[in-house]
Structure 1
Amino acid sequence: MAWRELLVALLAGIVQGVFEWLPISSQGNLSMLFTALGESGETALALSLFLHLGTTIAATVYYREDIRAASEGISAWRPRAAFAAGNAEPSFVLIASVTTGLVGVPLYLLAVDLASAVSGGVFVAGVGVLLILTGVVQRTSDAVGLGERELPTFADAVFVGAAQAFAILPGVSRSGMTTSVLLFEGYDGPAAFRLSFLLSIPAGLGATALVVLDAGGLPEIGVAAGAIALTASVLVGYLTIDLLLGVVKRVPFWAVCFGLGALALLGGGVVIVVGG
């Protein structure tokens, strides 16, 4: 393996491991990184989605006790008691994940077509626009205030699942979108983060499976490079989750989205002018 491929794989895994826990799009930042390194927009999109597998593994290990408790509820799930006390969270995860799949697959196909049709500069600028829109959503949800709801409903699951599907687009934060929608629906911060976390595992597995099936294997990378990137994302993700979740509670990340989005627009514009 060339040294450049090794360094790119390590860097990609580190970026995914750090940014996945923040309500700013890890996929958007990875897509910009891959594009800056000379990959096509289509390949950058596939690689950034594929690396969600690493942080999904890290989250599964870190929150194994929470997952065990949730899985017990899922195993005892009954349709007639859906969204009743004791069965609400499993129902929420199930309905929201199905909705994400129904909305997300067409969005993924659209994103792939657009990424393959546009130049690198336009792709990066598009990521910047989506980062800024994510920041707008988060800023608006901050202004709504905290609610007191506890049990999710069928409508909550459908709305959150649809919102999560848009995270298939580079620049749209999965955690930012789902948490913001839950805040809009009246949940307080801890409840919103918990429900968003529960959704992250099936979403991460689904995104990885979609990319692998679409590409017929690893997306434009060798097995060794993929293993290095995944290992880095697992280790960095696990080691940084405590620190970064604490930062999320104190820093207005809508402002970070605005800043990164503005830089992406500027960088994409420069590439377009230069001829990229």
Structure 2
Amino acid sequence: MSWLEAIVLGIVQGLTEFLPVSSSAHMRITSAIFFGEDAGASFTAVTQLGTEAAVLVYFAKDIFRITKTWIVGIWDRSVRSSLDYRMAWYVIIGSIPIGLFGFLFKDQIRSAARNLWLVSIMLAGFALVLAVAEYWGRQTRTIERFTLKDGVVMGFAQAMALIPGVSRSGGTLTAGLFLGLTREAATRYSFLLAIPAVVMSGLFSIPDVFDKSGDGLTPSVAQMVVATVIAFGLGYASIAWLLRYVAHHTLYAFVLYRVALGSLVMCLLIAGTITAT
């Protein structure tokens, strides 16, 4: 891997991880258009450690409070009715689907799922689902009214993001809107829900990203560190921006962007400018 590619992909990861546009699709498309070769699923997973570190820093007080309440609640029943205690369990239970499917379909995720035809179809097609959710969602339920059902449904929606182009945040936001949650409530849970799955995926992918016999390009340790640090800085900024944005705007801008990008990739594939695999 060249230094230019490592830096560019770090920027792409940081800018797109938390937006409902699929960071993995953007990593795949950027590699194909500008560098001619897929950087690989492992590289994407490891750079996501940077963006998840940004979540840990940004929501440090909330995460500490929720974790503390959950630990105390194991022995003290008086705190089990609190939102923080329940939220901890919602995140744990909601993380099971992506962990299970990620383990069962690991090989397909690293190979067939990265086909650019599939990526572009998911970008454009799932954009329409997001548009329907934005239009029909009642958005009357705040985070205080979050339930186990919400956590499970959004957990399965997150698992769909194992296919590049769906978008982890896009999937969870869509599910949350269909469930009647406000954008702010769905977005906050989406951030928390990502932590276990993305951190574990990134840690397990560290050996693979430096395996020269595996799929994708092989970065140096320095390149991997720099890309991850860049993703952290831009990811932190994008968290603050997205929380402000969803409080006052619809998600239709992201819908239009996804359709446009998916259509562009399809055109490039038909023209033979880029290859699907």
Shared fold by TM > 0.5? yes
Please identify, of 78-87 and 57-66, the stretch whose mean Cα deviation from structure 2 is larger: 78-87
| 2-structure distance, mates of 1:100, 1:115 | 15
- Give the counterpart letter for 1:59 in structure 2: V
Task: Name the counterpart of 1:263.
Answer: 264
Match of 1:162 among 156, 165, 168: 156
Task: Name the counterpart of 1:182.
Answer: 176
Instruction: Give the gaps of 5 or more residues in structure 2.
Output: none
Please identify, of 72-81 and 205-214, the stretch whose mean Cα deviation from structure 2 is larger: 72-81
Instruction: Give the gaps of 5 or more residues in structure 1.
Output: 117-122
Q: Tell me: CA distance 1:172–1:80, structure 2 relative to 1, closer, same or farther (3 Å).
A: farther
- Give the counterpart letter for 1:38 in structure 2: G
Task: Name the counterpart of 1:95.
Answer: 93
Task: Name the counterpart of 1:241.
Answer: 239
Q: Tell me: CA distance 1:65–1:258, structure 2 relative to 1, closer, same or farther (3 Å).
A: same
The number of residue pairs the alignment matches comes to: 265
Residues 100 and 164 of structure 1 are in contact (CA less than 8 Å); yes or no, is this contact kept in structure 2? yes
- Give the counterpart letter for 1:137 in structure 2: V
Task: Name the counterpart of 2:141.
Answer: 148
| 2-structure distance, mates of 1:275, 1:153 | 41
| 2-structure distance, mates of 1:201, 1:27 | 16
When normalised by structure 2's length, the TM-score is 0.84
When normalised by structure 1's length, the TM-score is 0.84
**Within 5 A, what are the aligned runs for 1:66-85?**
66-78=62-74, 84-85=81-82
Q: Tell me: CA distance 1:174–1:12, structure 2 relative to 1, closer, same or farther (3 Å).
A: same
- Cα shift at 1:236: 1.9
Residues 57 and 234 of structure 1 are in contact (CA less than 8 Å); yes or no, is this contact kept in structure 2? yes
- Give the counterpart letter for 1:130 in structure 2: M
**Percent of counterpart pairs with the same letter?**
29
**Within 5 A, what are the aligned runs for 1:185-224?**
185-212=179-206, 220-224=218-222
Q: Tell me: CA distance 1:128–1:79, structure 2 relative to 1, closer, same or farther (3 Å).
A: farther
Query: Deviation string for 1:215-267 (max 9, x for gaps)?
Result: 57697221111011111111222234323443455352111111111111112
Residues 88 and 151 of structure 1 are in contact (CA less than 8 Å); yes or no, is this contact kept in structure 2? no
- Cα shift at 1:213: 5.4
RMSD: 2.8
Task: Name the counterpart of 2:30.
Answer: 33
1:20 to 2:13 alignment: no
**Within 5 A, what are the aligned runs for 1:220-235?**
220-235=218-233
